[in-house]
Structure 1
């Protein structure tokens, strides 16, 4: 039996790993982030990949979802729960 992958946030994801979005949970101090992230494509079930982190602190992050590439702050990426996708 294969263990179920432990969800993490996109901010903690390893660079280059194929991930899947599990949930988007905006913080109480910025509830508008949830709908905004979903409007630009960060919805449960979508594949996502962290392409790179900026040097010296790792903020912002470069993220690929579908054919689009976004720069997200670590605080925004921390709202996106992800898990590793199975290798094919």
Structure 2
């Protein structure tokens, strides 16, 4: 997936920063994981916010998506393209 100038992946956001999901690279995920992300609310047009990064490398991330808080590994977060809100 190629990111445009106004887009970045979720893992590039700072704690407290919000953004809109622009695209998800489902080709980089196995079908079960892609389905699980969808069930958790990760879909184009949804607001997300980085709430917390784990110490020593920041993996996983605590991400608010809709009304849920989800722990998301950085390798998976890199497959979710966002646009600053």
> TM-score, normalised to structure 1's length?
0.82
Q: Are the equivalent residues in 2 in contact too, given 1:60–1:74 (CA < 8 A)?
A: yes
The answer for unaligned runs of 5 or more in structure 2 is none
Q: Which residue of structure 2 aligns with residue 47 of structure 1?
A: 47
1:21 is aligned to 21
Q: Shift in Å at residue 27 of structure 1? A: 5.0
Q: Which residue of 1 aligns with 2:65?
A: 65
Any idea what the Cα deviations from partners look like across 1:30-74, whole Å, max 9, x if unmatched?
332323211210000000001111000110000001110000100
Alignment check: 8 A CA contact 1:27 1:79 kept: no
Higher share in helix: 2
Query: Which protein shows a greater Rg?
Result: 1
Alignment length, in residue pairs? Answer: 81
5+ residue gaps, structure 1: none
Q: Which residue of structure 2 aligns with residue 76 of structure 1?
A: 76
